[in-house]
Amino acid sequence: MAFDRTVFESPSVEVAPLLLGAVLSHHTDDGLVSARITEVEAYLGELDPGSHAFRGQGKKNAVMFGEPGHLYTYFTYGMHVCANIVCSPEGTASAVLLRAGEIVEGLDLARSRRTTSRTDADLAMGPARLAVALGITLADGGLDLADGPMALRMPGRPSPFATGPRTGVSGDGGGLDFPWRFWMPGEPSVSPYKPHVPKKRY
């Protein structure tokens, strides 16, 4: 199915399950790598304490407030890049974090980028790994998925999915009762569940 921006005008919690099974492609000078998305996580902008946009718009998260269907990238832990897809109409911050995928195109290139991966399932098992495998950098933030080196192909029909709590996020959603994390059961590339352990406070 061709890229349809109107899909992304909904809040991320509605878009997230639709992205399971979608194929994200990135064309670089090195070649083309595509991944089939198998695990995602939703962030709800200003309402969501776990979201980068919770404390309002800043330099780092401006893309999240922009037009839906764009790529939002951020740098974390001093060394990792994660990729999101912006949702909700312009002016509203909402995004879906791509947590894991299966490389379906450009396998050799993905392997050369992910030298620490021992198996192909490891190539994009985790948000930062997915970004590396696809060759996504901070410079790719803001790219329009409708046009340019990044492309997204939606699945013909929705995939069966499971839901659960988010991982590695401080804040419980501010009391919002949503399923935050979505994955395709039985996929080898889906990272194992890790409960979030709050950091010690004194």
Partner DNA sequence: TGGGCGATTGTCT
Partner DNA sequence: GACAATCGCCCAA
Chain residues binding DNA by CB under 7 A are 41, 43, 50-53, 55, 58-61, 64, 72, 74-80, 82, 84, 95, 97, 114, 116-117, 122, 126-130, 167-170, 191, 199
Residue 46 corresponds to which tokens in the numbers above? 């200003």
Shorter beta-carbon distance to DNA: residue 97 or 109: 97
Judged by beta carbon, residue 156 or residue 202, the one nearer DNA is 202
Spell out the residues 6+ positions from residue 147 whose beta carbon is closer than 8 angstroms to its own: none
Q: Which is nearer to DNA, 52 or 70 (CB)?
A: 52
Q: List Cβ neighbours of 55 (8 Å cut-off, separation of 6 or more).
A: none
Cα dihedral sign for 70, 75, 76, 80?
positive
Q: Which is nearer to DNA, 6 or 115 (CB)?
A: 115
Contacts of 24 (CB under 8 A, 6+ apart): 34, 35, 37, 98, 101, 134, 150, 151, 152
Nearest residue (CB) to DNA, 105 versus 122: 122
Element (H, E) at 109: helix 107-113
Given a contact cutoff of 8 angstroms between Cβ atoms, the answer to whether 68 and 95 are in contact is no
Rounded Cα gap, residues 27 and 106, in angstroms? 10
- Cβ at position 112, least distance to DNA in Å: 13
Among 143, 136, 140, residue whose Cα is nearest residue 114: 136
